[in-house]
Structures are given as C-alpha cells and as structure tokens.
Amino acid sequence: MGELYVGLMSGTSVDCIDAVLVDFSGETSSGADIVATLGHPIPPILRDAVLALCAPGPSELDRAGQLDCQLGQLFADATLALLENTGIEPAVVTAIGSHGQTVRHRPPGSVAYPFTMQLGDPNTIATRTGITTVADFRRRDMALGGQGAPLMPAFHKAAFSADRDRAVVNIGGMANITELCADGTVRGYDTGPGNALLDYWIGLHRSEPFDRDGAWAASGRVSPELLNRLMADPYFNAPPPKSTGREAFNPTWLERAGEGLELAPADVQATLAEVTAASIADAVHAFANGGELLICGGGARNGDLMRRLRRRLPTWSIASTGNYGIDADWLEAVGFAWLARQTMRGLPGNCPGVTGADRETILGGIYPA
C-alpha cells in the first residue's frame, strides 16, 4: 500500500489549495513519489476575506498573536515555578494539560462558523519546560458539532460519580453544572454568569478585584425589578446543550437591563449575586428535587453567594468538593491535567450528552517535548 501522506499548502498568493498524495515508500531518488495532485479552488469571497485579514497594521489579530506567545511564556513560567517548589524534575512529568486563556467563545447557534479561541502557545510551553504539552482541548468537540464546553463533566464523572444523584457546580467567571445521575448518565451546561460581573461591578465602584466573601453584596438589597430584567435573558431558559462567556454576560448586558433604574451600587451587587445564585439554583432544581451539591471554583469562597444558594436549595446538601477529596480552588486545573492524561492514553475527554457533539472523541493537540 505504501507509506501515504497528504500534504496541503496554500501560499501567500492565495491562488488555490495545493493538495498532494505522496508515497514515501518508493525507490525514487527523492524518496517521495507523488501519487496524485489537486489544485483545489479557493472561492473568491474567501480569498478576499483572507487578504483583508492579511492587511498589515495595528490590529486585533496582531494583539492576539503577541498575547498568544506572551501567555505561552507565562504558562511555562508557572509550570517551572511549580516544579521548582517541589524539587521534581520536568523530565519525570508525563505531560502538561494547558487550557489556555479564552479570549473568544462563539458556540453553535451564535455564528455561522462556530469557534473558540484560547491563547497561550503550547509550542512555547513545551519548548520552555521540556514537557510534552496537550492543549487546544475544545475545538475537536466543536468540529463534531459540540459546544466545546463545558469540558469538566467527564472528569467530574470520573472523580465524583456515586450510586445517588449528585450535581457539581463550578463557579468561575461563568458558572457551569454537571449532573451526575445515579444510573451513570452525565448531563451539564453553562448556567450563566458566575463571578465575572461581581468582579466588574466592585472594580468599577470600589476599585477592588473581587467582593471578598461577598461582603459588599451582602450589604445591599436585591432589586426585584433589575433581577427580573436580568433573569429574563433567554439564555437562562434555553435548553442544553449551551455554553456562554463574556460575549453574552458583560457590562453592556448589565447596563441595558438597568436602563431607567436608579439603584445604589451595593444593591446592584446584591442583585448580581442573586442572578448567579438563581440561575444556578434553577439548573439544580431542573435536575432533581434534592441530593448532594458539590461546589468548586472561586465562588465557593463567597459566603454571601453560598447563603443565597442554600436559601434557594433547602432540600440539597451543599458542600465544597474539598469534602469529596479535591480542593475546590484547584479542581478545574486538576481536570485539565486529567484531560491531558486521557489524550496521552488515547481516551476520549468530552461528554457528547453535555456538549452536543456527534460522538466521544480524544481532545486536544499533543506538542511533544
């Protein structure tokens, strides 16, 4: 049969895609026998789009490219510092699972060609650390029609599934739920905003990076009108699969909902906390009438948010994932180490029942050390 490879190339002229089928098992002097060739046309509209994007000048594209490499350096620094603290040599680490920094998430339904973009060049990470790096976890799931998110459910299942219903809620910038059914079924989705808007609002009014323990939110009163307007966002009632990010839940979203309302900043903070709690609680209710709710992510440290959740979920036993064996602050990073391990072992990492992908798949790209 030979040793067949396909080569694809589209050069600076953007004239067409050169496609070749090559046999490397041949006896010719070059060792590369061309079996077939194809000049595949590039539609003019795509060619124009490519050339427009190539136009030099200060652009979002340049900033993204620079940031990709800068963040790659920073992720490498983080790894090296982590290992230095332990005295463990990079050579004994099997792989790094690096999620990268999401700067855009356009899931199916939001644009014609859904995509997600995480920066933090894995080539840089692998080179600087000398450790094989697995990255770009989300896009294979998206290529299969999935949301590419949330990706934690497979790990939550591996770590926390039991013979009774459990929900795992991660409260990061956004929040997501994993539903672990006693029969082994896994469901899940992003519930909506987590801490991102709380961080934004306290940054704007008090120049603090976050609302420690939710103390400021606790000092305010929820505005029923603003709460209703925010909770009226169709995302909350949309059926899964669904995922979201700053593209949807951002300062503009808050400003629009608040138009015409005169509210004290602390009351807005209380209302934002209530939105996070209400959207999570609605998701938990929709799963089951009661059970065990495991919380992780920075939001688990927000006492006010936890009180709001407990008030809305009296039939649920709510505790940090720390009580179940994995520290709530580190759970997601552990999850990406686990996803890297899945990939290195040739095992799937997505849950099609969560993301809506056509099937299970191995996630990510491997960048050898």
Ligand X SMILES: Nc1ncnc2c1ncn2[C@@H]1O[C@H](COP(=O)(O)OP(=O)(O)O)[C@@H](O)[C@H]1O
Q: Name every residue whose Cβ is closer than 8 Å to that of residue 360 and which is 6 or more positions away in sequence.
A: 348, 350, 351, 352
Residue window 320-349: x/- pattern of binding to ligand X, with contact defined by CB under 6 A: ------------x-----------------
- DSSP letter assigned to residue 239: P
Contact with ligand X (CB under 6 A): which of 72, 107, 173, 240?
173
Report the run of H or E that residue 45 belongs to, with start and end. helix 44-54
Sequential DSSP letters for 256-305: HHHTT----HHHHHHHHHHHHHHHHHHHHHHH-SSEEEEEESGGGG-HHH
* CA–CA dist 175, 245 (Å, integer): 9
* Under rule CB under 6 A, residue 148 binds ligand X: no
What's the closest the beta carbon of residue 301 comes to ligand X, in angstroms?
4
What's the closest the beta carbon of residue 1 comes to ligand X, in angstroms?
47
Q: Which range of residues in 88-96, 103-111, 113-121, 292-300 is near ligand X by CB under 6 A?
A: 292-300
Structure token pair of residue 366: 């491997």
CA atoms within 13 A on the CB side of 229: 16
* CA–CA dist 108, 145 (Å, integer): 7
Question: Looking at beta carbons only, is 218 or 363 nearer to ligand X?
Answer: 218
Q: Which sign does the torsion angle of CA 182, 153, 333, 284 carry?
A: negative
* Under rule CB under 6 A, residue 108 binds ligand X: no
* Under rule CB under 6 A, residue 297 binds ligand X: yes
Specify whether the CB–CB gap between 176 and 150 falls below 8 A.
yes
Q: Name every residue whose Cβ is closer than 8 Å to that of residue 323 and which is 6 or more positions away in sequence.
A: 294
What's the closest the beta carbon of residue 65 comes to ligand X, in angstroms?
23
Contact with ligand X (CB under 6 A): which of 299, 349, 352, 364?
299
Q: Is 101 left (phi over 0), alpha (psi -120 to 50) or beta?
A: beta
Q: How far is CA 18 from CA 13, 21, 38, in A?
A: 12, 10, 6
Burial per residue of 321-345, b for 16 or more beta-carbon CB atoms within 10 angstroms, e otherwise = bbebebebeebbebbbbbbbbbbbe
Q: Which range of residues in 46-54, 56-64, 209-217, 228-236 is near ligand X by CB under 6 A?
A: 209-217
Residue window 67-96: x/- pattern of binding to ligand X, with contact defined by CB under 6 A: ------------------------------
- The residue count for binding ligand X (CB under 6 A) is 16
Which residue's CB atom is positioned nearest to ligand X? 298
Q: Which range of residues in 27-35, 105-113, 271-279, 293-301 is near ligand X by CB under 6 A?
A: 293-301
Contact with ligand X (CB under 6 A): which of 164, 206, 212, 311?
212
Structure token pair of residue 13: 């002229």
Contact with ligand X (CB under 6 A): which of 214, 241, 245, 291?
214
Contact with ligand X (CB under 6 A): which of 172, 258, 265, 353?
172
* CA–CA dist 82, 11 (Å, integer): 41
* CA–CA dist 264, 22 (Å, integer): 69
Question: Looking at beta carbons only, is 47 or 310 nearer to ligand X?
Answer: 310
Contact with ligand X (CB under 6 A): which of 213, 225, 282, 360?
213
* Under rule CB under 6 A, residue 298 binds ligand X: yes
Q: Which range of residues in 64-72, 176-184, 208-216, 278-286 is near ligand X by CB under 6 A?
A: 208-216
Q: Which range of residues in 15-23, 147-155, 228-236, 294-302 is near ligand X by CB under 6 A?
A: 294-302
* Under rule CB under 6 A, residue 220 binds ligand X: no
Q: Which residues bind ligand X (CB under 6 A)?
A: 172-173, 195, 198-199, 210-214, 297-299, 301-302, 332
